[in-house]
A and B are shown apart, each in its own frame.
Chain A
Amino acid sequence: GAVVSQHPSWVICKSGTSVKIECRSLDFQATTMFWYRQFPKQSLMLMATSNEGSKATYEQGVEKDKFLINHASLTLSTLTVTSAHPEDSSFYICSARRGGNQPQHFGDGTRLSIL
């Protein structure tokens, strides 16, 4: 149990376009979902936390107008990278949690390359 699916797994697009990444909890309801970013040879950096039906809470230094997060249901959260530029190229990973002290479960990540 506790499977998190992320789509797409890889995306390449031109500079200036917007890219949407989906994160789904397949076999449980996730009260909270998280979005991370990871650059090569670095650790995961938390970008934002979202609770179903409410606005996401962004970490310091993360532009909320650049990285739009929607958590419309207990099984789906989306991250949209707006007007993407080459410096936004990274590995984006979502995770989901049932609640309380339950562990977070992670998707397999989306590798975003902006040309």
Chain B
Amino acid sequence: DAKTTQPPSMDCAEGRAANLPCNHSTISGNEYVYWYRQIHSQGPQYIIHGLKNNETNEMASLIITEDRKSSTLILPHATLRDTAVYYCIVRFYGGATNKLIFGTGTLLAVQP
């Protein structure tokens, strides 16, 4: 799986949009970008995933650059409950290596 690079930590004011970047410059054409978050002492929570088109769901938006070498997760109106570690993971679709490998993620701290 392609490696990802994320900033170790970010702050965001409550009510503002949180934009979390992820670099995956070695991504291949059949690898998806997945985002998960982990709130302290809980299991990771799936947020969103995409291949090359931008995606939006009730939780967030995922913006993938045209060359697919980076992406941004956007939480449109961050709340205190969004404080968590956010993981950007690139995963190959299909085959024996179809598994999620977690990096160190970004600790997002939403400030009141």
Contacts and interface: CB of A to CB of B under 8 A. Distances in A.
Interface of A: 2, 4, 6, 32, 34, 36, 43-46, 49, 57, 91, 93, 95, 100-101, 103-109, 111
B102 A43 contact: yes
Contacts of A32: 98
Contacts of B93: 100-101
B100 interface: yes
Interface stretch (B13-21, B42-50, B70-78): B42-50
A40 B47 CA distance: 23
Given A43-B105, A100-B94, A101-B32, A107 B100 contact: no
B43 A104 contact: no
**Most chain A Cβ neighbours within 10 Å, of B43, B45, B46:** B43
B103 interface: yes
B99 interface: yes
Contacts, number: 52
Nearest to A43: B102
A93 B102 contact: no
Interface string B85-106: 0010000011010111111110
A34 B43 contact: no
Given A43-B104, A103-B49, A106-B44, 4 more contacts: A44-B44, A101-B32, A106-B45, A106-B46
A108 B43 contact: yes
B105 A34 contact: no
A108 B43 CA distance: 4
11 contacts: A43-B102, A46-B100, A46-B102, A100-B93, A101-B93, A101-B94, A103-B34, A103-B49, A105-B46, A106-B43, A111-B41
A106 B41 CA distance: 13
A18 B35 CA distance: 34
Contacts of B32: 101
**Most chain B Cβ neighbours within 10 Å, of A34, A36, A91, A106:** A106
